[in-house]
Amino acid sequence: IRDEESGYNKNLFCIPKHYEEDLERVFIPHGLILDRTERLARDIMQDMGSHHIVALCVLKGGYKFFADLLDHIKARNQNGDKSVPITVDFVRIKIYC
């Protein structure tokens, strides 16, 4: 997103009531995030080839993205011509450097 990007009018989206007063505009629509997450899963599967995937989620903020990404990877694993083993683990960090 460029610095001069003004985003989308929030009236174009279904915004939960408890966020309406705090939100001015939407910069990245949810559908675009989902599309890019699916594309990232595809790229990971292509880059990894048949190598074992070790997926590490940094809790708490990343769990939703992590879950969505793994869902796309698993779907590609089940529907593709190859199956890649996946190990999933979680780490909690108190301080980010």
Domain hosting residue 73, numbered range: 8-92
Question: Who has greater pLDDT, 95 or 6?
Answer: 6
pLDDT digits (tens, 9 = 90+) for 14-38: 888 998 899 888 888 888 889 999 9
* 97, part of any domain: no
pLDDT at 49: 82
* 20, part of any domain: yes
pLDDT digits (tens, 9 = 90+) for 53-83: 999 998 877 888 999 999 999 998 888 777 8
The predicted model scores a pTM of 0.72
Give how many domains the chain has, as a whole number: 1
Q: Are 8 and 29 in contact (CB under 8 A)?
A: yes
Q: What is the CATH number of the domain that holds 38?
A: 3.40.50.2020
